[in-house]
Amino acid sequence: RDGGVEPFDAPARQTLPRTGWRIARTLRSDAGTPATVSQTLEDTPFYVRSVLSSGLLGETVVSMHETLNVPRLTSTAVQLMLPWRMPRAR
């Protein structure tokens, strides 16, 4: 591991569980290593950020995953909610 870059074939997409706001999301992970959500940091009607555990090139890796649902962000219902900040879960 000399810090060099080597091309590789991307693993297949895996489906992650939908969020509390029903946002669909996927992640590429090795076939033998299912991707799991370790912690959800943000879960809004149009955006979600989570810490995931998955497999890449035979190793278990931890990664940050973000999904932005632009059609939902631009919807009238969400635009009307934007002036009011949602309380944060603690």
Alpha-carbon span 20 to 22, nearest angstrom: 5
| 86 pLDDT higher than 80 | no
Predicted confidence (pLDDT) per residue in 23-82, tens digit = 999 999 999 899 999 999 999 889 999 999 999 999 999 999 999 999 988 999 888 888
Helices (H) and strands (E) in the chain, counts: 2, 5
Question: Would you state the pLDDT for residue 84?
Answer: 78
Q: Is 50 exposed, middle or buried (0-12, 13-18, 19+ CB in 10 A)?
A: buried
Cβ contact 50:63 at 8 Å:
no
pLDDT score at 1: 65
Which sequence spans correspond to the domains of the chain? 13-81
Q: What is the pLDDT of residue 90?
A: 64
Please check whether residue 65 is in contact with residue 25, taking contact to mean a CB–CB distance below 8 angstroms. yes
